[in-house]
């Protein structure tokens, strides 16, 4: 039986997901050359079979690599759960990792839940991290976080929606003060058809549709524009210059305000909610303990 170490198995699984030595190394906190060395060691321990086809441009699983991934991933996940549950029985909850795009939505409930969770369980903590604009669910799917704060609706087969953090958040449109819409007191989706609307970016199809439908109630197309935005400061800059309009929700506009940007109510879209979401079918006692605390503090509908 080959003396394969857990770190070698985990490295293989990360590389099988990323298919890129640099990205795998970043996730593992190693150098790309070290990832290659550990992989070579693993391949030798498994009889010298190649697990990846490697060229200067492409990394891909071999047939043997695909079989090993399919068999090893559930085995490692099962062992992790056994060890995690054993620790949980003795010490209670540990670290829960929560990803959120910004601190604008549901932050009141989330903050109070974190405070209660950490006060209730000695040694427990919640780590917050920022999810990227263009890959909001990616960290959850890669199991880099345990929960993600998301706008609703969210209807993805591998994700389950948990307790709400906010309900009935008003829809608004953010525009620059010199924009033709800036002097309006209320807007409709019909008004947006005459202007450049920032394309809902990094959203699932159902959430993009809810944020701004592609057509107005009368059937006119919305003119979406692709604006490369890496952070909220850049978005506010583009809005202030009158380059586009941005359908969003009132908590976002209140949190990320700018002296040259105004938020106008959008009357004919239903209010929005946000909630925590988790990967379906993944056991995690720490995460579930935190969800229980959030459930006790969830806002009324």
Lookup: tokens for 161: 């929606």
Note the pLDDT of residue 120. Answer: 86
Q: Running DSSP on this structure, what letter comes out for residue 199?
A: P
The predicted pLDDT at position 198 comes to: 85
Average pLDDT over residues 255-283: 93
DSSP string, 36-57: HHHHHHHHHHTTT---EEE-SS
pLDDT confidence of residue 107: 86
- For the cut 80, the answer to whether the pLDDT of residue 72 exceeds it is yes
Neighbours of 218 (CB within 10 A): 8
CATH number for the domain running over 171-270:
3.40.190.10
Number of C-beta neighbours around residue 155 at 10 A: 11
Phi-psi region of 244 (alpha: psi -120 to 50; beta: other; left: phi over 0): beta
- The whole-number pLDDT of residue 104 equals 77
What number does CATH give the domain 92-165+273-297? 3.40.190.10
Confidence at residue 283, expressed as pLDDT on a 0 to 100 scale: 84
pLDDT of residue 134: 80
pLDDT tens for 137-186 read: 999 999 899 999 999 999 999 999 999 999 899 999 999 999 999 999 99
Can you give the pLDDT at residue 235?
Answer: 87
Q: Where in the chain do CATH 1.10.10.10 domains reside?
A: 6-88
Cα 294 to Cα 187, 212, 228, 278, 287: the distances in Å are 34, 29, 35, 14, 11
DSSP reduced 3-state for 70? helix
pLDDT of residue 103: 75
Q: Say yes or no to pLDDT of 300 above 60.
A: no
pLDDT digits (tens, 9 = 90+) for 206-262: 999 999 999 999 999 999 988 777 678 888 998 999 888 999 999 999 988 899 999
Contact 72, 46 (CB under 8 A): no
Using pLDDT thresholds of 50, 70 and 90, give the confidence band for residue 105.
confident
CATH of 6-88, one of 3.10.180.10, 1.10.10.10, 1.10.3720.10, 2.40.33.20: 1.10.10.10
Question: How far apart are the two ends of the chain, measured CA to CA in Å?
Answer: 57
Domain with CATH 3.40.190.10 in the chain: 92-165+273-297, 171-270
Average pLDDT over all residues of the chain = 89
3-state DSSP assignment of residue 301: coil
Closest-CA residue to 13 (of 76, 64, 59): 76
Strand ranges of the sheet holding 261-265, from the earlier edge strand across to the other edge: 246-249, 171-176, 261-265
């Amino acid at each position: 039986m080959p003396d394969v170490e857990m770190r070698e198995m985990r490295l293989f699984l990360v590389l099988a997901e990323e298919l890129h030595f640099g990205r795998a190394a970043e996730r593992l906190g190693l150098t790309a050359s070290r990832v290659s060395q550990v992989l070579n060691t693993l391949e030798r321990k498994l009889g010298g079979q190649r697990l990846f086809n490697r060229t200067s441009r492409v990394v891909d699983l071999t047939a043997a690599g695909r079989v090993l991934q399919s068999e090893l991933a559930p085995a490692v996940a099962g062992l992790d759960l056994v060890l995690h549950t054993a620790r949980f029985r003795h010490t209670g909850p540990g670290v829960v990792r929560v990803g959120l795009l910004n601190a604008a939505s549901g932050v009141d409930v989330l903050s109070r839940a974190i405070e209660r969770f950490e006060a209730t369980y000695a040694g427990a903590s919640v780590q917050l991290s920022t999810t990227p604009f263009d890959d909001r669910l990616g960290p959850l799917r890669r199991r880099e976080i345990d929960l993600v704060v998301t706008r609703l609706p969210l209807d993805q087969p591998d994700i389950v929606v948990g307790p709400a953090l906010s309900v009935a958040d008003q829809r608004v449109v953010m525009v620059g003060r010199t924009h033709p819409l800036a002097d309006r007191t209320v807007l409709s989706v019909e008004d947006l058809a005459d202007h450049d609307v920032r394309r809902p970016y990094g959203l699932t199809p159902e959430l993009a549709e809810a944020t701004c439908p592609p057509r107005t109630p009368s059937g006119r197309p919305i003119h979406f524009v692709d604006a490369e935005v890496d952070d909220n400061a850049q978005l506010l800059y583009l809005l202030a210059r009158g380059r586009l309009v941005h359908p969003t929700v009132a908590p976002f506009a209140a949190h990320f305000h700018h002296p040259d940007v105004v938020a106008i109510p959008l009357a004919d879209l239903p209010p929005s909610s946000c909630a925590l979401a988790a990967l379906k079918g993944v056991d995690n006692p720490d995460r579930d303990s935190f969800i229980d605390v959030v459930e006790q503090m969830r806002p009324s509908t």
